[in-house]
Structure 1
Amino acid sequence: MKKLIGIVAALLLVASTAFAETAIKVNGSTTVLPIMQKVVEAYMKAHPDVKISVSGGGSGNGIKSLIDGSTDIAMASRAMEQKEIDLAKSKGENPVQTVVAIDAIVPIVNPANKLEAVNLEQLKELYTGKVTSWKDLGGTGPVVVISRDTSSGTYECWENLVMKKAHVFPGALMQASNGAVVQAVSKNKNAIGYIGLGYLDASTKPLSVNGVKATAETAKSKKYPISRDLYIYTNGAPAGAVKGLVDFLLGAEGQKLVKAVGYVPLS
């Protein structure tokens, strides 16, 4: 009897270990989130033995989770900073970057707004609070500035590519996700915001920037001035079950899903 109990206990231990090896946690950017949700759904359908949880929260939070070892994959819409890499290494982590898609950050307004185009300087003036009335850009009414919050990789890319060392002014209404920005702009005729390419829909109107519309082609060629790569980070080169997921994401089927959710595949 004792021998039988020992065998059962050993089998349960093996089973629990196997489950632990196939449980993957993914956390981070809400820009990359739609890509990962689609990819994970397809991957788990083909690999029912692999359990994957996916959550947003922003690039900064995903990177923090990777550094403290609470996630296997961090989604990020901006590259890790050197101070983050140094902190990770001090904790025994080795962040490895993988580009998974291409994106464009698109300024959006309410469909009631007659504005069709802006340039980078005008965007900077809007987001520093220098321009406060749409009258200055040929419209009417006060400008309501909608921005991502500071934990967002999209926010950091916006500051680097548009603000050029200036900061978004304190009067901006900060939102925690791309979806929240879309909702805020769609409900306010005076609002302007910015989102990833995959979040464009009929509830808002995209603006061209420097005479260039944000499309898959202009984002990939970097002709569109607010283009960027999208990333995932792992602790070391992807291995085991994580490698299986990453290989699927970078493969033909995964890249088709990138395109299906509105982003630009790598090839």
Structure 2
Amino acid sequence: MSPKNGTNETGVLVLTLAITLGLVGGVFWWLANNSGVINSLSINQSRPNEDTFTQKINVPSGLFSYGGSTTWAPIRKEVDPEIQKLWPKYQLRYTDPTTGAPGSGTGIKMLLDNQLAFSQSSRSLKDEEYQKAKQRGFQLQEIPVAIDGIAIAVNPKLQIPGLTLAQLKDIYTGKLTNWQQVNGPSLAITPYSRRLEEGGTSEFFDQNIMGGEKFGTNVQFIPTTTQALKEVANNPGGIYYASAPEVVGQCTVKPLSLGRKSDQLISPYKEPFIPLQNCPQQRNQINAAAFQKSEYPITRRLFVIVKQNAQSDQQAGEAYANWLLTAQGQELIVKAGFVRIR
């Protein structure tokens, strides 16, 4: 090899090394100054974007009437405004029945009569409702979206440890008429209820607690939960059952612990109990863990009832239910006082 060729090769090697070092340095400089971009990309890849799920929901345009369960009122208050922000052309209108009180049963009846696009229910569909839909040429589907519990409200002055489900049933059949019979004071029991045909909660109570037995003659029927809770607050011997979010956070009534056995009483609120004199600055909260694990003895699911007719009504109902099952929808369900289902 000639000295000239050796000099050329050395020069090429030096030049190559300089270029390589320059490229490596440039890469390190870029990484150091753009680490935020890399982190951002990593986060986006490892954590699904809520908008992605929302965009996959098939949402129709138009005005859609819906109705049903009064238990759903706190959910409607939280959820509907958010849905309207996401899809301004998907307009929702809650519709009361023309006769009778609003409730799960009347909502399903209105759905069967083509007065609603979909309905909300605090109980499962009945066989006769499935049959009526079939007779009208379509099917009904119930989509569970949340967990709720039935809470028992009594007057704050009443001092008893709680009730078993058997004692609760005996109170509403009229077998137990004095609080002294359940380790309380000598005081007449006044049970309140909504009528069976007016609400999913009373229908659920009838099927799951009463077991088909009729209410006692001492039961007083009140059209709304708001009125019934006022009665209990003013009557030291009063008792009423309702959706847990409607009872647990109240300032004027006390929720009772319930159990299948007297030594298995579970509270519907997070313990320790917050004294009612601290309300409304501090309110008792739902015992979500006990509801999710079915430790609390009266829990149920809340449903969106969808009309399976391959038309825009079906699309509207499925869109509503599917969005409630997204992470954002489930968070709003918790905010409304209920328990997430997923």
Same fold flag (TM > 0.5): yes
Question: Structure 1 pair 55/202, CA: closer, same or farther in 2 (3 Å)?
Answer: farther
Partner deviation per Cα, 1:17-72 (whole Å, 9 max, x = no partner): xxx94211111111122212321122113322222112460111011011111111
Distance of 2:328 and 2:336 partners within structure 1: 13
Structural mapping, 1:4-83, within 5 Å: 21-55=61-95, 57-83=102-128
Q: Residue 288 of structure 2 aligns to which amino acid in structure 1?
A: A
DSSP 3-state at the match of 2:240: strand
Question: Structure 1 pair 240/163, CA: closer, same or farther in 2 (3 Å)?
Answer: closer
Partner deviation per Cα, 1:109-137 (whole Å, 9 max, x = no partner): 01111123100111011101111112222
Gaps of 5+ in 2: 1-59, 97-101, 260-264, 269-286
Pair 1:144-2:190 in alignment: yes
Q: Residue 322 of structure 2 aligns to which amino acid in structure 1?
A: D
Distance of 1:224 and 1:194 partners within structure 2: 14
Structural mapping, 1:1-267, within 5 Å: 21-55=61-95, 57-137=102-182, 138-151=184-197, 152-200=199-247, 201-210=250-259, 211-214=265-268, 215-236=287-308, 239-267=314-342
How far the C-alpha of 1:178 sits from its partner, in A, is: 3.1
Does 40-49 or 102-111 show the bigger shift? 40-49
Question: Structure 1 pair 230/112, CA: closer, same or farther in 2 (3 Å)?
Answer: same
Q: Residue 28 of structure 1 aligns to which amino acid in structure 2?
A: G
How many percent of aligned residue pairs carry the same amino acid?
A: 29
Does 159-168 or 230-239 show the bigger shift? 230-239
Counterpart contact for 1:132–1:142, Cα < 8 Å: yes
**TM-score with structure 2 length normalisation?**
0.68
Distance of 1:248 and 1:30 partners within structure 2: 20
Q: Which has the higher contact order (CA 8 A, sep 6+)?
A: 1
**TM-score with structure 1 length normalisation?**
0.86
Gaps of 5+ in 1: 1-19
Q: Residue 136 of structure 1 aligns to which amino acid in structure 2?
A: Q
CA RMSD of aligned residues (A): 1.9
Counterpart contact for 1:67–1:93, Cα < 8 Å: no
Distance of 1:41 and 1:167 partners within structure 2: 41
Distance of 1:239 and 1:163 partners within structure 2: 35
Give aligned pairs, total: 248
DSSP 3-state at the match of 1:166: coil
